[in-house]
Structures are given as structure tokens and as C-alpha cells.
Structure 1
Amino acid sequence: MYQDKAKAPSYDQLRPLKPGRAEVQARGSFPVYPGLAEHLATAKEHPDAPGIIPHVMATCAAYSYAGYGLQADATTVAMIMERMGLEQNRCRAFAQRVDAMFIASAAYLVQSQDRRVAILCYRGTQPEDMISVLTDADVAPERLSVEIGGATHMVHAGFYRNMRATRHAVITALNRAVEGQSILPEDGDDRGNPLERLYITGHSLGGAMAALMAVVLVNEPDYEKIAEKLEAVYTFGQPLLGDRGFALACERTVDVRGRRFLRDRLLRYVYFRDVVPHLPPRPVGEYAPFGREFRYDRALRPLDLAFSRFGQALEDLASVPSDMTERLGRLLAQLQAPPVPPPGTPPGEPPWGTRTTQLAFDVPASAARGQLRDLAAALPRRTATMVNDLVTGLPQQARRLITAAPTRAMNPLRPQEQGWKERMGAERSHSAQNLSGLALVAPVAFFAVRLNLTRTLPFTFSFDDHMPTHYISRLAPPGVLSEFGDVR
């Protein structure tokens, strides 16, 4: 495992040839948020009212992509968090790479100078790294090692494998923080303030690993000391992790402090038409969200809004083949299920057809013939019902979607309000209906935004909206300095 470490530079080092700190800060410069460590240690709600914490976490998640030659870069992350306000922080990076296993994992742990606050940040999918991309595509379900509510669940194999690749090194460092020690062993074993609050964050794949780490901390009894310090999880452009049963189990789980942490303290940010929060798509499996979701909507002109709604209608129409596949799968599953015992079968008897010896020796011939006739009559009726559901349901759905498309596109055409809004229940980001959003719409939108003529067209999904720069800029409170020390 590759490890890197860094101590944040001083503000004088961040501003070479500039006046002293007090004078520069009075004119507007670093730190972006003076007293950030104290704010993180005392915030009473999430997201906090000033919007400081989401902005800080989005910035940390974005700069976790720093590095050269696919290696982690603790120096850059420590520097950026110093600029944001975590003065004299300590940073450790843990990276593991095994190409044949689709592992390209990196985690950063940032500790405040007073040791009361720590931020665990996972790096996302690196665009230039094919192994990192293949991690996202490794959608085969894998069993989670911890039970949730007394039951086991399956999750996205690629995300889970990459989180586990660095987990034990991360846990070791977090345990030092809980004990009041520096996360850098070379600082010695002197004990200061113990860890009071742990934040976890990440963008894209990093967001998925952050959420999975939270699931493990909350449900693993051996990690109770660390789970007690868990304050909030902020993810940006995070894909989905597991099916509906897994999501419901997470939201029902009560942590060691009596909180429904994974329901109330896991905050999932989605920028406009970002495609990744809708992945994996439904043909791969019926994935579902958990936690709280905040989505940013851009203001749209009436014509753009009409285009958007018409595109959504076409997207729904394109989901018909996926629905057909699901219905066909249910049909095959029911046909392969053991037949229902005929009426009059005593309770507790094995399913009809599993005790042929009794039919031959114990059951009167007339009764056996009657049961066989009932079974033979029932099977075609059941099959016919399922086939009819498959054949007639889909054309009806297609007609409904086609008929509704003009209405959805043109009525009403009020301008869309811009800003972040919390989405509840079914409004949250679910799996894309089909592969067209990933394979066709999102790539076209990525290039369309680069042309002035098509820049404002609101495609259903977009890879461009997944870029971490959007999350930083839209989460920055008005008038706040950027991480470069200038006013936005």
C-alpha cells in the first residue's frame, strides 16, 4: 500500500512576497473561513445554515483527485484545507492499486491542529485511469461483511472492494485520532484533545466509498469508538450502492448514539442533470437511494423547459424495453417456481410433484387422476395470465407515454426556480430507466455544453454536470473567497 503524509504550510508560505497575515486578510485572502475547526466541532445541524460545511467538503472532495502518475498527493490536500481554514492540519493518504482486481483506491485523512476534528475523504473515479473506470462498471453484487438489522445485504462489488482496500489502514489512523494522538506517527504518541467529530466525504466513486464506510462504521460493533464520533457524511455526485432492501435497512438502522444516522446525517448532493447519481441503470439492477438528497436546479427559459420535459418523456418511452425485460424475467421466474399444490392438500405436505411414490402407492387412482387434471388446467391458465400481462401491458404503457409527452412538454411553461432544494421520497435520484442516458444522452450533453448554440439545452443527463467544479461553485456561499484566495 502506498502512503503519503504532509503537514500544512503556513499562511506566509501560501502568500510569498505578500504583506503579513493581518493586512492581507483584511483585504481578503486566506483563510477562506477563519475558525473553521471550531465551526466543524460545534455545528448543531447539517447542512449548517451558513452553508460553510458543504462548501468545505465539496472542495476537499474535488482536490482529492490531486496527484501525479495515479498516486495520492497528501501535500496538495493539506494545502487546500489550510487555505479553507484548517490551520496547521495534518494529512495522511492511503492508496492501494491492484489492476487485475479493478482496485484503484485512495483515501485522505485530515486532522485539525487541535485534533478535535477529522475529515475522511475518498478520491473518486480518475478520468484518465481505465482501472478506475472499470471499478464503476464492476456492478456484480457482493455481500456486505456486516449485518444491518440482523440481516445481510448485497452491494455494488467495485465500490465495496475499493473501500475495503484501504479500510484497515484508515481505521488504524482514526483510532489514533480517537485516542488524542496525531495521525502522523512521526509526531510521537503524546496525547492531546481526543477526536470529537468525524466527517466523511467524497465525489463520484469517492462518494460511494464514503457512504459505504459510514454503513460499516455504524453497523460494526468493533468500530463503536469511532462510530460515536461520526458527525455527518457529505457526498457529491454519488452513485447508488444497493437495492431497495439495502436502502431501507440503512435508513432504519439506529447508531450507537440512538440516531438514524444513515437516514438523517448522510447528505447526498446532486448538481442539475448529473448522470452519475442515477447509476447503475435499471437494466443492471434496481438500485435505490438512502439518506437526504439536495439537488441543484438551474433556471430554465420556457423553451428550454419544454425541451427538457419532452426529453424526459422520450426517456420514459425508451424505458419500455427495460420494462419488457423485467416482465419477461418475472414470467420466467414464475414458470420455474414449483407448482401450487392442488386444493385439499394437507398442510405441511411437500409441493405437488415431489412425492411421486405416494401418488403411485398411497393415493387412489381416481383421486390422482383428478389432481392431475386440476394441475394441468391450472398451469395453462397461470401461464396465459402472465404472458397476457407481458404482451398487453407494454403497448398500453407506450401509448400512455406518447400521449402524455406533448402535455408534459408544453403545460405549464413557467420558469424553473434556481438553487438547492431537498428532494424527498420518490423525488430522489433513482436508477436511470435504461442505458440510453449513459451511452448516448450524457456524452452528447458533455460536448453540447461546449458550443454556444447548444450550451443551454437541458439534456436529461449530462457528464459535464458531474464535474466537481460545479459542486464547489454552486455550494460556495455568496461573496465567499475561493480556495485560491480571491472573491468569486
Structure 2
Amino acid sequence: MKTQDSVAPDYRYLRPLKKPESATFPVYKKLEDLLTQASDHPDRVVAHALATCAGYAYSDAATLAMIMARMGLESNECRLVSQTVDAMFICSHAFLVQSDDGRVVILCYRGTQPMNFINWLTDADVNPETVPVPFADPPVSFAVHGGFYRNVRATRHEVVHALQRALDGRSVRAKGKAMPQRMEALYLTGHSLGGAMAAMMAVMLRTEPAYAPIARKLRAVYTYGQPMIGEPGLAKACDDDEFLGANLIRYVYGSDVVPQLPPTVSGPFAHFGRELHCGPGTTQDAAARTTQQLGNLTGLAIAPVAFISHQLRLFRNLPFQQSLYDHGPQHYISALTPAGVSSEYGDPG
């Protein structure tokens, strides 16, 4: 198990060399207050902040700490818990970002890295595992995506230990300091594979009795370009859960193909929670929940073609129904940046 710790420096030293006059950091003043006070989800500030966090989880702890300081969690503490076992298709990276007063913790899972072959094998390792989920007593067993489940388990105990430290008023870092306050608000997030891991961790927190003290601090789960994690029976049980049905928020950008996965040849899968579609300048509730729309693996060949077409002016506006180009985390961040709000780079909104 590997860990990386980082403390974000004062945001004033993170400004670009040539800062536009209208650009200011942090993007949101006292973001910890906004995250603590948000009660109705989806919330546009939360959606933007967590999309940015999920996008920069593809970097390291120091970079993510810096970006989240710019967003408004100044002097945050950031910890990366990771485990990689190539032979078992495990490539699990979980970031814990804690506000400097200790009140807010964001648990953010890294998604599928484009050039990481093991990441793609993890996504493809659909062979389901049957897992007892204690929504009721006795627990009911459901089939879940084997690769996603294995990767959440790889770092779960260290992550839960860190969350327990935050709940006790300590830093999420292994040898960190006492914090001014105990954790009051916990958010889970991630893009792509990271979103699937966040959703699965949310189910674990909500259903495992031992995790109940942590689960009581869970405010919402925001995922971006998330694939499905389990069979329709699990999805229904999650939708029936008072928290998961209303507060797991899934964003789908444009024609992003990943929310349509796994393909039907892998077996029946279904989404749960609230789905919103976003694009340039628009965000709206989905008219219908995304389903498994690819009948076989050959359908996936369309998605890379759509990615390449976006690089060629002549084909850029072709109406693809499945696109890898639309899966990029930068699209989710741009689409969910509120009008008039500057970016994480200080660009004016």
C-alpha cells in the first residue's frame, strides 16, 4: 500500500505569472462553508468543485492539493492511498482532500488513465462477483462488476481508517495533526472508473453497520462519465435507499460512451441515482436513464472513430451516439463551471 501526503500552500503563491485583472483566487471563497451548508443536491458549486477534483485526480497529491486550494479549500491536507497489482488488474488510487479546519473531506477516486493498460483491463474485467449487500437482514446478494469491486476493496480499509481519523478530529494523513474541528461533511466523487468506485464505496458506507458513523456524515456522491457497477436488482435496491436514490448524482456529457457500459454481452447492468445531462452551457435532468445501448463489443469501435473525427474539421460535427472524445474530464469541468465563475487557472468566466 502506497501513500502520498501533501499540504496545499497558500493560494496566493499559486497565481499565474500574468493574471488577468478580473481573475481571483480562490474561485470560491470559503469553499468549506459552501460544502458544509449545501443541503439540496445537485448543487452547482458542489458539482463544479467536485468535477475539478475528479479531473485532477489523474495527477498526484501535490497537484490535487494545489488545484483544490485554488478552488477554495486553502491550506488543505491531501492524502493519496494507492495499491497496484498488475496481475490482478488492480490499479486503485483514492485521494482524501481535507479542509484546513477539518470540517470537510472529499474522497475522490482516480479514473481510467488513457495510457494505462491495466486500467483498461480493470474496466474490461466485468466477470461479476456475487456480493452480499446488507440493505436488509439477512443481506441479499447481488452481482457486481468484478474489476470495480476488487479495486475499491484494495484501498478500502486504509481509506476508512483515514475517514475515521477525520471523524475523530484528526488529519487524514497517517501521522497528521489534530484538526480544529471534526468532520461534518463527506463527499465522494470520481470520473469514469473513479466514478464507479465512488458509487460502490457509497453503497458500502450506506449498508455496512460498522461504517454507520462515517455514513452519517455523507452529504452526496457526484460522479462524471460513470459506467454501471451492478445488476438491475442492485440498482433497484440503491434507488429504494433514501440516501442513494436521491443523493448519488451522475453527470453525462454529450455522447459519452462510458455511461452505456458494460455492453449487454457482459450481462445485465443498470444505473441508479439521479442522472443529469450536461453540455456546453446546459445542464438538465435526463429524460430517461442511460441504459446498456451497445449490444456487442463491436459497437465500441464507433467511440474511437468519434474521438478521431473531433480532430478533423471536416468530420467534427458528425452526430455520433457513442464518443470517447466526450468522455474527457475537461469537458465535464467546462460544462459545469457556472457562468461568471473563473476557472482553476484564473481564467475569467
Range into which the TM-score falls when normalised by the shorter chain: over 0.9
1:204 pairs, out of 192, 195, 198, with 192
CA contact (8 A) 1:280 1:432 kept: no
CA contact (8 A) 1:147 1:153 kept: no
Distance between the aligned counterparts of 2:166 and 2:42, measured in 1?
24
Distance between the aligned counterparts of 2:132 and 2:67, measured in 1?
35
Per-residue deviation, residues 428-452 of structure 1 (Å, max 9, x unmatched):
1111231367432111111111111
Aligned residues: 347
2:283 pairs, out of 406, 413, 420, with 420
* Greater radius of gyration (CA): 1
CA contact (8 A) 1:78 1:89 kept: yes
Distance between the aligned counterparts of 1:16 and 1:266, measured in 2?
35
1:65 corresponds to 2:50: no
Specify whether residues 452 and 75 from structure 1 end up closer, same or farther in structure 2 by C-alpha distance, changes over 3 A only: same
Which aligned pairs between 1:67-466 and structure 2 lie closer than 5 A? Answer: 73-149=60-136, 150-188=139-177, 190=178, 192-253=180-241, 260-296=242-278, 419-423=282-286, 427-435=288-296, 438-466=299-327
Distance between the aligned counterparts of 2:72 and 2:267, measured in 1?
42
Secondary structure of 2:118's counterpart equals: helix
Return 5+ residue gaps in structure 2 as ranges: none
Per-residue deviation, residues 42-81 of structure 1 (Å, max 9, x unmatched):
0121112xx1110110000000001xxxxxx110110000
CA contact (8 A) 1:179 1:191 kept: no
Secondary structure of 2:264's counterpart equals: coil
- Aligned twin of 2:38: 43
Q: How far did 1:297 drift?
A: 5.1
Secondary structure of 1:187's counterpart equals: coil
Per-residue deviation, residues 20-58 of structure 1 (Å, max 9, x unmatched):
xxxx8974221111111100000121112xx11101100
Distance between the aligned counterparts of 1:467 and 1:431, measured in 2?
20
1:29 corresponds to 2:16: no
Let me know the Cα RMSD of the aligned residues: 1.7
Distance between the aligned counterparts of 1:457 and 1:104, measured in 2?
35
Specify whether residues 28 and 160 from structure 1 end up closer, same or farther in structure 2 by C-alpha distance, changes over 3 A only: same
Distance between the aligned counterparts of 1:103 and 1:273, measured in 2?
28
Q: Which has more helix, going by share of residues?
A: 1
Secondary structure of 2:188's counterpart equals: strand
1:14 corresponds to 2:14: yes
Specify whether residues 183 and 27 from structure 1 end up closer, same or farther in structure 2 by C-alpha distance, changes over 3 A only: same
Specify whether residues 96 and 197 from structure 1 end up closer, same or farther in structure 2 by C-alpha distance, changes over 3 A only: same
Specify whether residues 34 and 437 from structure 1 end up closer, same or farther in structure 2 by C-alpha distance, changes over 3 A only: farther
Distance between the aligned counterparts of 2:181 and 2:199, measured in 1?
27
Return 5+ residue gaps in structure 1 as ranges: 19-23, 67-72, 254-259, 299-417
Secondary structure of 1:31's counterpart equals: coil
- What letter is aligned with 1:422? D
Identity of aligned residues (%): 52
Q: How far did 1:187 drift?
A: 3.3
Per-residue deviation, residues 307-357 of structure 1 (Å, max 9, x unmatched):
xxxxxxxxxxxxxxxxxxxxxxxxxxxxxxxxxxxxxxxxxxxxxxxxxxx
CA contact (8 A) 1:275 1:438 kept: no
Distance between the aligned counterparts of 1:180 and 1:444, measured in 2?
50
1:56 pairs, out of 49, 55, 61, with 49
Q: Which has more strand, going by share of residues?
A: 2
Q: How far did 1:285 drift?
A: 1.0
